[in-house]
Amino acid sequence: MTLPTVLCVAVTSVSWAADPPASSPAWAGTTDSASPQTSLAAVRSIIGADTGPAAALTGKGVGVALIDTGVAPVPGLPVTSVVNGPDLSFESQAAGLRYLDTYGHGTHLAGIIVGDDKESGAKGVAPGAKLTSVKIGTSNGAVDVSQMIAAIDWVVKHRNDDPGSPIRVINLSYGSGGNPPNWTDPLQYAVERAWQAGVMVIAAAGNNGNAAGKLTNPAADEWILAVGAAATNGTVSTADDSLATFTNLSNGGNQVDLLAPGTSIASLRDPGSNIDVAYPTARVGNTLFKGSGTSQATAVASAAAALLFQAKPSATPDQVKDWLIKGGTFLPNGKAATMGLLELNVNGALARTGSVVQKPTWNPSNGTGSLEAARGTSHVMLDNTALTGERTVWGAMATAQWAPKSAAQTSWSGGTWMGFRVAGDDWSGSSWASRTWAAANWAAPSWSSSTTWSDPAWSGRTWSGRTWSSGAWSGRTWSSDAWATAGWR
């Protein structure tokens, strides 16, 4: 069949209410429509966040960076809880779409982390945390690995811009199709630089199934926390929980570190967004939407990490990773039991905070590997021309020149990344959020024959009050895969 020309990014953690649209294979997921709803209150109970010492924690004073498809100004996301970092997506070149979630994925994850929806009563796992949204994905999920790398670099550079809520966690519900050597991969180098700077990176394992044979990149990196989804079966008891069948498992190298609830999670709906239009049966009331995948599980784990950092502000990513993994709940069913995969338990992690954690000795990446190898099968398209080779969205780049600058936190200077003007220079931007990084027009030519970044499909698409204007979502760009949602149902 002919693929429509749409801006699309691949995702590794969402499931769908029906077969995913051909325009967004990266965000595609499972179609288990029989899964019962898992409310955010149930999620909190399953992971033990509503009892014992954990019940007093909200994530206050902790920043979480959500590098995703942006967030929409729905009532369930308090303005004071959200900051908009730079929009590095293709849609940044359309003022009416800039910073906003046209897909619906980022808003769903934001709800899991910091949501507070008065109409439904749904509340995120860490409602007191400060969420910094860095948009890289479009209405159909289109994104390139170079945009992800630039976003991670920006977070590391600006992690302490808000001294009251410094960024301690990066949520990456993203995974490329690449299987590069981990000792040279630039994407793994970027997440390792963040980790060494004190920012814990939590990544989705992927939704290609237990037989996938490998985790998506960068979850395959041994340094960071790789999260798989637990099937919760509509109960708050962990006795019937099991490894979700869509979760990637590895035959070698890094394995899933931790499981978290990830099936039919009822979080914030983004009215009129791509997935909201495509999967109306996933709606729960007026304000919620059901989604399944390692993306959702990763958001739960990121929020839990924020609770740990609130309780132990001086903790390192290595310590929090160790506490979360070893403090988990044993699941007596199926592969989770035979493999020893534990499910997130916040109180179990808190109980281990007095334990000594040995610094890991994994071999690090040097970052000088190929961008094309990091992409693997995940190619973004513009006017049916794939972005390939040693080129970012904005132009050619040698990773051997980027890696030392990333390490020194000099790859960004104001709104330029590696010499490319990709955003404004400071926090002088305007949006619905409490604070916004400024935008800029992209002057660099595209990799296709096009002479402009603008897209006729962007015209007429506006956020009006509480919803996107009606109409089908389409555009000039799309990509094969990258995001980690198994389905919306």
Calpha distance 393→263 (Å, rounded): 34
Residue 138 is which amino acid?
Answer: T
Catalytic residue among 81, 139, 165, 295: 295
Contact (Cβ atoms closer than 8 angstroms) between residue 70 and residue 151: no
Q: How far apart are CA 4 and CA 25, in angstroms?
A: 12
Q: Return d(Cα 249, Cα 262) in angstroms, integer.
A: 15
Rounded distance between C-alpha atoms, residue 146 and residue 487, angstroms: 26
* Secondary structure class of 131 (helix, strand, coil): strand
Which one-letter amino acid corresponds to residue 383? Answer: D
Whether 289 contacts 266, CB under 8 Å: yes
User: How close are the terminal C-alpha atoms of the chain, in Å?
Assistant: 25
* CA separation for the pair 107, 103 (Å, rounded): 9
Using an 8 Å Cβ cutoff, are 102 and 160 in contact? no
Q: Is 108 a catalytic residue?
A: no
The answer to whether residues 64 and 426 touch, using CB atoms and an 8 Å cutoff, is no
Structure tokens at 157: 């550079």
Please choose, from the candidates 386, 379, 391, the residue with its C-alpha nearest in 3D space to the C-alpha of residue 178. Answer: 379
- Active-site residue among 15, 105, 144, 153? 105
- Mark whether 295 is an active-site residue: yes
Q: Do 216 and 176 meet the contact criterion of CB atoms below 8 Å apart? A: yes
Asked about 158 being catalytic, the answer comes back as: no
Among residues 68, 221, 241, 270, which one is catalytic? 68
What's the CA gap between 297 and 344, in Å, rounded? Answer: 10
Q: Give me the active site residues, please.
A: 68, 105, 295
